[in-house]
Amino acid sequence: MVVGWHRPTKLVIDTQAIKENVRNEIKRMPKGTELFAVVKANGYGHGAVQTAKAAIAGGATGFCVAILDEAIELREAGITEPILILSVVDVSYIELLLTYDISVTAATQEWLEQATEQLNQLEIQAPLKVHIKVDTGMGRIGFTTPEAVKQAIATLKVEKKMEWEGLFTHFSTADEKDTRYFDKQSQRFDKVLSVLDDLPRYVHVSNSATAFWHPNNPGNMIRFGIGLYGLNPSGHALSAVYPLKPALSLVSQLIQVKELSAGEGIGYGNTYTTTAKEWIGTIPIGYADGWLRHLTGFSVLVDGEECEIVGRICMDQCMIRLPKKMTVGETVTLIGENHGKEITLQMVADKLETIHYEVACTFSERIPREYK
Ligand SMILES: *Cc1c(COP(=O)(O)O)cnc(C)c1O
């Protein structure tokens, strides 16, 4: 994939903000609790390796990713902290997990049995580290009954080539005002804990929302994702428990500025027509960059002024209405601060009728990430 280094559009990532978000969270956590930074999907679009390094600087002691390749990327970048893959990895890749010392999630008894078979064919130096996933109501992956969890643990204990390193669950409504479903999941996990004789090194139930709004949950590690990036997991529903620092800005520049007379069309389909003499600016970002077509009508900031996106957003460019003549090369802020005004990822998400998580990881690889 090509990166547009020679175009003035870029994502600017404030690594100091990531570091501070981690630090602020660690300050609130009970002593002895570890923070694993969740850097899946290229660090929610922010860049996995740079985010991971900033998180370490803030005090993170491990990482979570979604897929094996993301774990390998961190190891290849020299990261030596524990890494857990949160979703299911096919047992045919067990040798890679061992080579890179990566912990894996077991979600079914079948997987454990297949993993045992694979491991028995390998000469290994150290056991495969396994976290047992309990499905308490997310309905995604995991063991669904205390008996099934007990059986899985028994398998891990007899199998010398595997080590029971963790036990975890995931909440589906930790970011909502209504806590009834959360409580139900929480009780189910407590039930599992109550039938176990001992616990592994890591017990973890908290994503960012659980850590923020349900801090008294069991466990000695949290999986801190969206909070790292300075975003409120609940959107507008619940207020942040401490100020979060957004790490991502998106900036570009005006590449052409022109004055049009009334009645001129802008963009494909001619969906916008100038109503008077208007200054129109063009910026080099489009839907191929993740700046999606639904953002027509949204505003960006130029010289502290809100400028509406007019006409359809093209694949590589879009047009904005300027309040006055402006110069080519002038900075355009699509997300972030500009002369005291701010556009947040949340505002973009609201316009797109989605969540900021999705917006952040929709930015394509074509946009270079600059770290400060
Ligand atoms: C993505 C993910 C997280 C992180 O969630 P945030 O809301 O970003 O904090 C934690 N746990 C699991 C299982 C996940 O898939």
Q: 206: Cβ below 6 Å to ligand 1? A: no
Residue 78 lies in a domain: yes
Alpha carbons 301 and 339: distance in angstroms, whole number: 9
> How would residue 372 be classed by pLDDT, with cut points 50, 70 and 90?
very high
Q: 233: Cβ below 6 Å to ligand 1? A: yes
The closest alpha carbon to 84, from 228, 223, 226, 225, belongs to: 223
Residue 166 lies in a domain: yes
**pLDDT tens profile 88-105:** 999 999 999 999 999 999
Residue 7 lies in a domain: no
Pocket test residue of 29, 40, 185, 223 for ligand 1, highest count of atoms within 8 A of CB: 223
Ligand 1 atom 4: the closest Cα is on which residue?
225
Identify whether residues 355 and 224 lie together within a single domain. Answer: no
- CA 45 to centroid of ligand 1, rounded, Å: 14
Q: 205: Cβ below 6 Å to ligand 1? A: no
* The ligand 1 atom nearest the CA atom of 38: 4
**pLDDT tens profile 61-79:** 999 999 999 999 999 999 9
Identify whether residues 300 and 168 lie together within a single domain. Answer: no
How confident is the model at residue 293, as a pLDDT? 98
Identify whether residues 354 and 209 lie together within a single domain. Answer: no
Domain boundary among 197, 229, 261: 229
Domain boundary among 178, 199, 229: 229
Judged against a pLDDT cut of 90, whether residue 268 lies above it is answered with: yes
Judged against a pLDDT cut of 90, whether residue 1 lies above it is answered with: no
The residue-averaged pLDDT of 126-140 equals 98
CATH code, domain carrying 109 = 3.20.20.10
- CA 355 to centroid of ligand 1, rounded, Å: 14
Domain boundary among 165, 196, 229: 229
* The ligand 1 atom nearest the CA atom of 175: 7
Distances (CA, A) of 207 to 211, 262, 333: 6, 53, 31
Q: Write down the H helix ranges in the chain.
A: 15-28, 40-44, 48-58, 68-76, 94-99, 109-120, 146-158, 180-194, 208-213, 345-351, 356-362
Residue 6 lies in a domain: no
Identify whether residues 215 and 305 lie together within a single domain. Answer: no
The residue-averaged pLDDT of 3-12 equals 98
Q: 223: Cβ below 6 Å to ligand 1? A: yes
Q: 299: Cβ below 6 Å to ligand 1? A: no
Q: Are 313 and 252 in contact (CB under 8 A)?
A: no
Print the domain residue range for 338. Answer: 248-371
Q: 225: Cβ below 6 Å to ligand 1? A: yes
The residue-averaged pLDDT of 127-135 equals 98
Pocket test residue of 29, 40, 63, 64 for ligand 1, highest count of atoms within 8 A of CB: 64
CATH code, domain carrying 294 = 2.40.37.10
Alpha carbons 352 and 354: distance in angstroms, whole number: 5
* The ligand 1 atom nearest the CA atom of 226: 8
Pocket test residue of 29, 86, 358 for ligand 1, highest count of atoms within 8 A of CB: 86
Q: 38: Cβ below 6 Å to ligand 1? A: yes
What's the total number of domains in the chain?
A: 2
Identify whether residues 224 and 254 lie together within a single domain. Answer: no
Judged against a pLDDT cut of 90, whether residue 20 lies above it is answered with: yes
How confident is the model at residue 294, as a pLDDT? 98
- CA 224 to centroid of ligand 1, rounded, Å: 7
> How would residue 24 be classed by pLDDT, with cut points 50, 70 and 90?
very high
Residue 343 lies in a domain: yes
Q: 170: Cβ below 6 Å to ligand 1? A: yes
Identify whether residues 207 and 320 lie together within a single domain. Answer: no
Identify whether residues 252 and 213 lie together within a single domain. Answer: no
Residue 225 lies in a domain: yes
Identify whether residues 288 and 158 lie together within a single domain. Answer: no
Place of tokens 């099934």: 148
DSSP state of 217: -
* The ligand 1 atom nearest the CA atom of 66: 15
Judged against a pLDDT cut of 90, whether residue 217 lies above it is answered with: no
Ligand 1 atom 15: the closest Cα is on which residue?
86
- CA 314 to centroid of ligand 1, rounded, Å: 33
Active site residues: 40, 268
Residue 264 lies in a domain: yes
pTM: 0.97
- Amino acid occupying residue 249: S
- Amino acid occupying residue 62: G
The residue-averaged pLDDT of 322-344 equals 98
Alpha carbons 259 and 278: distance in angstroms, whole number: 6
Q: Where are the beta strands (DSSP E) in 184-296?
A: 202-204, 221-224, 248-253, 256-260, 265-266, 272-273, 278-283
How confident is the model at residue 66, as a pLDDT? 98
pLDDT, mean over the chain: 97
Provide φ and ψ at 26, rounded to 5°.
-60, -35
**pLDDT tens profile 157-216:** 999 999 999 999 999 999 999 999 999 999 999 999 999 999 999 999 999 999 999 998
Alpha carbons 249 and 240: distance in angstroms, whole number: 20
- CA 16 to centroid of ligand 1, rounded, Å: 22
Please report, in range form, the residues annotated as the binding site. 140, 315
Alpha carbons 310 and 272: distance in angstroms, whole number: 6
For the chain, the straight-line distance linking the first and the last C-alpha, in angstroms and rounded, comes to 23
Q: 86: Cβ below 6 Å to ligand 1? A: yes
